[in-house]
A and B are shown apart, each in its own frame.
Chain A
Amino acid sequence: ETGVTQSPTHLIKTRGQQVTLRCSSQSGHNTVSWYQQALGQGPQFIFQYYREEENGRGNFPPRFSGLQFPNYSSELNVNALELDDSALYLCASSLGGFGNTIYFGEGSWLTVV
């Protein structure tokens, strides 16, 4: 629907492992943001990438890192997984610049056991 696709849709990891989540932004969108949504909470801003550069970060530790590629797709990497990292991870893309609509992907459900 929105043209933003995320993978995988669901995954289970063990505490201490590492995970990589992927996002393909809507065609032509050069800005990607990642959000974490724990159960019963609103999405929390992790970071944003604009033209392959990090462009702002929320209150997340360095073990949360990301990349944006020349085609504007993006990855979120989380190292040393903790139980509290269990959440829905949402990717949102937009055409950079204030005033443009943001489109969310369907998210990746991560469970850490």
Chain B
Amino acid sequence: RKEVEQDPGPFNVPEGATVAFNCTYSNSASQSFFWYRQDCRKEPKLLMSVYSSGNEDGRFTAQLNRASQYISLLIRDSKLSDSATYLCVVNRASNDYKLSFGAGTTVTVRA
């Protein structure tokens, strides 16, 4: 089983729509969870950390479900600039920042 699994998509949505997707992780000892954004042929960039109580950053909402070992990302009022691959990331061990990445979920927002 992969450490982090994501629905690859693509999710093809119109501007203004809401899109949501999940990822599952296998290591119950993971303590840190993130969503990274990666544009084509660029490096990953931190979008947001995911906290146990769930958190929002503007149009982006992240949720963590430890019991079922999944995290989710919801994007409201999608913009063309949201088109990217979203990488689900968890730390590999309970006390350090070696990261395990999912393969990514591709989102394309169309005009």
List residues of A whose CB falls within 8 A of some B CB: 31, 33, 35, 40-45, 48, 55-56, 58, 88, 90, 92, 94, 98, 100-102, 104-107
Contact = CB atoms under 8 A, between A and B. Distances in A.
A8 B45 CA distance: 20
A101 B102 contact: no
A107 B43 contact: yes
Interface string B25-42: 000000010000000011
Contacts of A41: 103
Contact of A40 (B46, B102, B103): B103
Residue of B43, B45, B87, B98 with most chain A CB atoms under a 10 A cut-off: B43
A46 to B, nearest CB: 10
Given A33-B98, A35-B101, A40-B103, 14 more contacts: A42-B4, A42-B104, A43-B44, A43-B87, A43-B99, A48-B98, A55-B96, A90-B43, A94-B97, A102-B46, A102-B97, A104-B44, A105-B43, A107-B43
Nearest to B101: A42
A41 B43 CA distance: 13
Contact of A45 (B46, B87, B98): B98
B104 A98 contact: no
Contacts, number: 52
Contacts of A101: 46
B100 A45 contact: yes
B95 interface: yes
A36 to B, nearest CB: 11
Given A104-B43, A105-B43, A45 B97 contact: no
Contacts of A100: 97
Given A42-B4, A45-B92, A98 B97 contact: yes
14 contacts: A33-B97, A35-B101, A43-B101, A45-B92, A45-B99, A48-B96, A56-B96, A58-B98, A90-B43, A90-B44, A92-B99, A98-B97, A100-B97, A102-B99
